[in-house]
Amino acid sequence: MSKLYLEPYEIYEYAADKGKAKANSSWLTMIVLGFLGGAFISVGYLAYIRIAGTFPHEWGGFGAFIGAAVFPVGLACILVGGGELITSNMMAVGSAYFSKKINVKKLLKNYIFISLMNLVGALFVAYFFGHIVGLTEGIVLEKTIHTAEAKINATPIQMIVSGIGCNWLVSMGAWLAFAAKDVTGKILGAWFPVMTFVAIGFQHVVANMFIIPAAMFAGAHITMLDFGTNMLFVWIGNCLGGAIMVGGLYHLSYFKK
């Protein structure tokens, strides 16, 4: 009887093979799946804003907790339904590179192009669902702007360290999903690490691609320089969290097997 899950060293091999396949994807595949990855994560964050932004202040952090509990729907859609997300790719494609299954050119091509297509997907949701439909404005406008301003007002070192914490958990969510061989196991494996990073308040570059422009569309006093600075330092932190803290450390542990 075959096992219902993979052992940790088997997950590493699976992640490296997944990363190789991602790095060798066609341009059209990366365009479509990169767009979907950015859009799905943004829909998850939109759900968070709609829930957390309407809870009474007297409820304290309970509203944020409930919002965090629905955010992982975005990663579930990506891992099960299909999509490319730069943060989980930092782990998987990074693992493929460490395993010498791809070269640095393919690594950078994937990292850069998926980041750009995630941005397109996030902007799509922020503008059409957030601004045109008004789902990040109106009753939740204060929450939208407050969340975005908290992201950009962090110092560069805070953005980097927060980004590391975020993608350590997001990549572990993908890692645990890789371990499961059934859909339920994949969703549950991803759900709790991702929910935890949102509840803590760590910075995720693709989520920020959604919430900061959503606040800008709503009239917040946020400049393109503020947005670009956040993107740069959170991306660096996310890369360290996914490629090094997950892909790199597990490579050191398991590559000889």
pLDDT tens for 184-199 read 999 999 999 999 999 9
Q: What's the rounded Cα separation, in Å, for the pair 93 and 200?
A: 26
Average pLDDT taken over every residue of the chain = 95
Domain residue limits at 132: 8-254
In a domain, 48, yes or no: yes
In a domain, 18, yes or no: yes
In a domain, 3, yes or no: no
In a domain, 185, yes or no: yes
Question: Domain of 85: which CATH number?
Answer: 1.20.1080.10
DSSP code string of 80-104: II----HHHHHHHHHHHHHTTSS-H
In a domain, 240, yes or no: yes
For residue range 148-178, what is the model confidence (pLDDT) as tens digits? 999 999 999 999 999 999 999 999 999 999 9
**Which burial class, exposed, middle or buried, applies to 249 when counting CB atoms under 10 A from its CB (0-12, 13-18, 19+)?**
exposed
Give how many domains the chain has, as a whole number. Answer: 1
pTM of the predicted protein model: 0.95
pLDDT over 90, % of the chain: 91
Residue 45 has pLDDT above 80, yes or no: yes
For residue range 102-147, what is the model confidence (pLDDT) as tens digits? 999 999 999 999 999 999 999 999 999 999 999 999 999 999 999 9
pLDDT computed for residue 1 by the predictor? 53
In a domain, 155, yes or no: yes
In a domain, 187, yes or no: yes
In a domain, 131, yes or no: yes
Closest by CA to 193, choosing from 163, 211, 159, 166, is 166
Q: What's the rounded Cα separation, in Å, for the pair 222 and 229?
A: 11
Region 224-249: what's the mean pLDDT?
98
pLDDT computed for residue 139 by the predictor? 95
Region 84-110: what's the mean pLDDT?
97
Q: Where does the pLDDT of residue 60 fall: very low under 50, low under 70, confident under 90, or very high at 90 and above?
A: confident
